[in-house]
Amino acid sequence: MKNTKLMTLVDLTKQVRAFQKKKKKVVFTNGCFDILHVGHIRYLSAARALGDVLIVAVNSDRSVRALKGEQRPIVPQRERLEVLAALSFVDYLLLFTGKTPGRLINTLGPDILVKGGDWSLEEIVGRKQVEARGGKVVRIKVVRGASTTGLIERIVEKSLPAAPSRTRAV
């Protein structure tokens, strides 16, 4: 399936400039989005509600492995991009290979940079650059109990054979 939301940095930069010229607010966020769950959906929906256009930068498979370890990602980048493209509130996708999206943020110059509430302001890559241009950084509350790592742990736990019950002979 052709992913029409997936853009190159060069083409997306042109789009962002055109939107900003029309006074549209461009929102940027990033992540691995390995196994999409309710936390991701609520987060991306809330991010989109902050502006007119939502750009989601997605870590490449190599980048995910560098951040999360050799067992990740579970879902390959091509499929993660396809799933995210199916979401109506995601306008554009960008695949990146680095550990951070700093270069993308500097190049695109979004009006609003979004991260999860589990990130402190000091940890957010690109915050200083966005704020220096008059943009803002928004932290969105994390959905308690919703994480890809937690899902993987639950799947593994449920796939293990149950321990034999220990009953005492009477």
| Structure-block tokens of residue 15 | 């789009």
Q: What pLDDT score does 69 carry?
A: 87
pLDDT value of residue 14: 97
Q: Give bridge partners of residue 94 from the DSSP assignment.
A: 57
Give residue 79's pLDDT: 96
Q: What is the C-alpha to C-alpha distance for residues 117 and 102, in angstroms, rounded to an integer?
A: 19
Residue 88 tokens read as 């109506």
In the chain, where are the structural domains located?
A: 9-156
pLDDT less than 50: residues of the chain: none
Does a cis peptide bond (omega within 30 degrees of 0) precede residue 73? Answer: yes
Distances from the Cα of 43 to the Cα of 46, 49, 131, angstroms: 5, 10, 21
The mean pLDDT value of the chain amounts to: 89
What global pTM score does this model have? 0.86
What CATH code is assigned to 9-156? 3.40.50.620
The pLDDT value given to residue 43 = 95
